[in-house]
Structure 1
Amino acid sequence: MPMLPDLRKRAVATRERMDDPDCDPVLLARTFEQFTGVNRLVAGWRGTYRERIRPLLSAETLSTLLDVGCGGGDIARALARWAKNDGLLLEVTGIDPDPRAIQAANSAPNPDGVRFHTLASSALVDAALRFDFVISNHVLHHLTADQLTDLLVDCELLCRGLSIHSDIRRSRLAYLEYWWATLVLFRGSFVREDGLTSIRRSYTEAELRVAARREWNVEAQAPFRNLLTFAASAAAKEGEPGAQGTLEA
């Protein structure tokens, strides 16, 4: 049995190794590659797409989706693929301020034409772009309190429809199950070490309710996830003429 760290409070002073700009580039590249398998196992986006995104898509009218902090781009590519397989029109853009992440995203097969850019969400706010969906996966726990607030404000400004942020929900059982599951899997990368750190840094449902802005809704998602959502107002959905745009490739 592993020796459990203190999980009563967020380990905000602990950092994931992949966030170090000087971390081993080989291990980092392998980490981005392995995220596809990790997210397939734990992130739950297939169900989130089916229940929350797909019902709002159309086979006649194009919708746009922005993945903030997209990392290696596996979630963005999966959403584009699922929509295409369902015969629905969805244009997906992924952004990340870390050029190493965008390099990994652009190096992976991308048959559905997802666009990836080295940008922060604030740059898109400055460009007055709008998207029907704004999402993130495993981003919230990386942020300071001020950065979290800034991100949510940006998403409110960028979103014409629905914003969904999916992240880990901290618990003893989540830590134990991940510890055991990664004893053999995902070797030669930061996935095991950083995953355990991420659980320690993540929010409980109650903590995220306190940290989030008032307009946002927090709900627990099985088995160990928080879902933070925001629905744009009718006025925001109408927007200004020409306000919705796409980034150049």
Structure 2
Amino acid sequence: MRSERKDFTQRAHLTEWMDEPCSYPTFRECLRDLEEVNRVLGGYTPSLGWIEESLQHCDGPVHLLDVGSGGGGLLRAVEASEVARQRGIHLTGIDLNPHAAQAAKEFTPKGSTIAWMTGDVFTYEGPATLIVSSLLTHHLTEEQIVRFLAWMEATATGGWFINDLRRSAKAYYSFKVLAWALRWHRFVRHDGPVSVRRAFVREDWHRMCSAAGLPMSEIRIEEKPFARLCVSRRKL
């Protein structure tokens, strides 16, 4: 019997297992494998490049906020970077899932100054020079994304960067094969392909950025290796 043909012309309305209630040990192990996914596929590379470039234009104290920080791998990579050690950055990760902050604290070496928070980002009242998110927006509805874009534009004094996936059949089937071959966590094997189907193409981002009232001439939408589609705005 043939499998049903997948439709990649629009975002799919599907559920990821990580978005459902699960035990902390299960969630923690899934985050561990997601770090491996990012290592193998260079998932942090676009974000780190944008952060490093942005820091060259920042004066005074820099506060970097990672929204949907998960297991905290991106902020640990920032903290370990040479530019961060030379520049000095205040790093904060916020995630709606309380398991995320708990796991991030466990994964982070002693002596780290990263602050891990649990909560809704729209209630965040701390400073934010730069705001980043990685693999967050495909979990949201279009209305939520438009609100998030407007919030980042109003909150980040230096700029913001979204690192997410590009929707395509190639990305979908490639990840399924890779996740099976590397025996990643069952949540990762399920959620990875689902994430691709929930992800975006350029036209989606043009529409949502316009709906958020952003200055379109200053918005960058860039394709990156391994099916990444990044959206950014630099104010400095």
CA RMSD in angstroms, aligned pairs only:
2.4
AA partner of residue 230 (structure 1): R
C-alpha distance in 2, partners of 1:180/1:68? 29
C-alpha distance in 2, partners of 1:187/1:46? 21
AA partner of residue 55 (structure 2): L
CA deviations 1:105-153 (Å, max 9, x no partner) are 11112343211000222112xx3x3312100000110001121112112
1:42 counterpart residue number: 41
Match of 1:53 among 51, 54, 76: 51
Deviation of 1:219 after TM superposition, in Å, equals: 2.1
Does the aligned pair in 2 maintain the 1:27–1:189 contact within 8 Å? no
C-alpha distance in 2, partners of 1:134/1:145? 19
Aligned length: 226
Where does 1:205-216 land on structure 2 (aligned, <5 Å)? Answer: 205-212=202-209, 213=212, 214-215=214-215, 216=219
C-alpha distance in 1, partners of 2:59/2:140? 38
C-alpha distance in 1, partners of 2:82/2:65? 14
Cα distance change of structure 1 residues 47 and 96 upon mapping to structure 2, 3 Å threshold:
closer
**SS of match in other structure, 2:130:** strand
AA partner of residue 217 (structure 1): R
Where does 1:16-165 land on structure 2 (aligned, <5 Å)? Answer: 16-21=16-21, 23-50=22-49, 52-57=50-55, 61-83=60-82, 87-110=86-109, 111-124=111-124, 127=125, 129-165=126-162
Does the aligned pair in 1 maintain the 2:52–2:83 contact within 8 Å? no
**SS of match in other structure, 1:160:** coil
Does the aligned pair in 1 maintain the 2:47–2:161 contact within 8 Å? no
1:11 counterpart residue number: 12
Query: Normalising by structure 1, what TM-score?
Result: 0.82
C-alpha distance in 1, partners of 2:113/2:78? 12
CA deviations 1:199-224 (Å, max 9, x no partner) are 01001122222122333432222231
C-alpha distance in 2, partners of 1:198/1:44? 14
Deviation of 1:61 after TM superposition, in Å, equals: 4.4
Does the aligned pair in 2 maintain the 1:92–1:115 contact within 8 Å? yes
Does the aligned pair in 1 maintain the 2:65–2:92 contact within 8 Å? yes
| Runs of at least 5 residues in structure 2 that lack an aligned partner in the other structure | none
C-alpha distance in 2, partners of 1:201/1:47? 20
CA deviations 1:7-54 (Å, max 9, x no partner) are 222112x11011012x3443222111111111223354234423x222
Deviation of 1:188 after TM superposition, in Å, equals: 3.6
Cα distance change of structure 1 residues 43 and 166 upon mapping to structure 2, 3 Å threshold:
farther
**SS of match in other structure, 1:18:** helix
Instruction: Please state if 1:224 is matched with 2:227.
Output: yes
C-alpha distance in 2, partners of 1:109/1:144? 31
C-alpha distance in 1, partners of 2:208/2:198? 13
Does the aligned pair in 2 maintain the 1:161–1:231 contact within 8 Å? yes
